[in-house]
Amino acid sequence: MSKTVVLEVKNLKTHFTSKKGVTKAVDGIDFVLHEGETLGIVGESGCGKSMTSLSILRLVPSPPGKIVDGTVELKGKDILQMSDSELRRVRGNQISMIFQEPMTSLNPVIPVGEQIAEAIRVHQKLGKKDAWKKAVEMLELVGIPSPQQRAKQEPFQLSGGMRQRVMIAMALACNPEVLIADEPTTALDVTIQAQILELMKDLQKRLNMGIIFITHDLGVVAELCDKVAVMYAGQVVEYSSTEALFSHPKHPYTNGLLSSLPKLYEDQDELQTMPGSVPSPYDMPKGCRFSPRCPLATAQCHEEEPQLHSLKDGSQIRCFLYNAEQDEKEVQMT
């Protein structure tokens, strides 16, 4: 039985205008998210991962940013066409977000229980007493000990791991159908990170929500995600199941990311690295945006921009090394 599509993003484009010119921060993103499914969005810093999430929620600072094209359909309704009042009903209710740094997202002088309760009152129309009770229940759900006591504390009185759990409790308080997690474990130590990931997997099973997990950590992707979108310079360059991505990576950039991971059980004198860096958004190379760093680039790659196209195995690739007829060919890094 096929799962219900909860979120579908088509040709999403977000541009920023400055004195230097126009920056295409998000340049034609497409993906589909089903209920109970986790999609990982990965790539180096500056590739457009976080801006994609802010665009989905219409949180792009304007000016200088503007969503110039595309659709973001939540259960068939386009978020980009909603009125402000409709958007307020949807954000934090049907679709929620966990931000990277809780101390910039939580009010530092209001007890965390009150902050969660406020979101519940706004979206679920509960009274003050019932909203507080549910806020405490949410803190207990995300594994915070003594939730009644912790709910009365302000963010600075909690550890980093607890603050991140508060953010998850707030995001899940209204039982969203889609949860966007923007590198929620980056600032946490490895032990707490593992606990948070386990918590998210457990809550997803209970609530059957779709999750978009934004990260630069491929280990987290392997642990948590069903599908992966690899981004580079504002575009998706590879889109496939997690299993296929790790067993048969196709795009040279994906190969480079995986090759740079430490190999625990292999003799490895030093880590492999990719030459160069992500291009300046004001000075994109002609042709394929990865071509200046690609060991397999041809004259065509330096002149023409490849399009994202589907292969027979269900994956999508933005590379001239593959086309619909050649999808069995594997890219080898040289």
Q: Where does residue 181 fall: left (phi above 0), alpha (psi -120 to 50 degrees), or beta otherwise?
A: beta
Q: What is the pLDDT of residue 269?
A: 60
Class of the CATH-defined domain 1-94+176-268 = alpha beta
d(CA 31, CA 8): 6
Q: What is the pLDDT of residue 268?
A: 55
* Domain residue extents for the chain: 1-94+176-268, 105-174
Q: What is the pLDDT of residue 331?
A: 46
| Under 8 Å between Cβ of 83 and 37 | no
Q: Is residue 63 reached through a cis peptide bond, with omega within 30 degrees of 0 on the bond before it?
A: yes
Q: What is the pLDDT of residue 190?
A: 79
* Burial degree of 24 (CB within 10 A; 0-12, 13-18, 19+): middle
Q: What is the pLDDT of residue 57?
A: 92
Give the Cβ contact number of residue 70 at 10 Å.
19
* pTM of the predicted protein model: 0.87
pLDDT in tens, the chain (334 residues): 568 899 999 999 999 988 888 888 899 999 999 999 999 999 888 888 889 999 999 998 888 889 999 999 998 899 999 998 899 888 888 898 887 776 677 888 999 999 999 888 888 888 999 999 999 998 988 888 899 999 999 999 988 888 888 888 888 888 889 999 988 777 677 787 788 788 888 888 888 899 999 988 888 898 889 999 999 999 999 999 999 999 889 999 998 888 877 665 555 566 667 777 888 888 888 999 999 999 888 999 999 999 988 888 889 999 998 864 454 444 444 4
Q: What is the pLDDT of residue 187?
A: 66
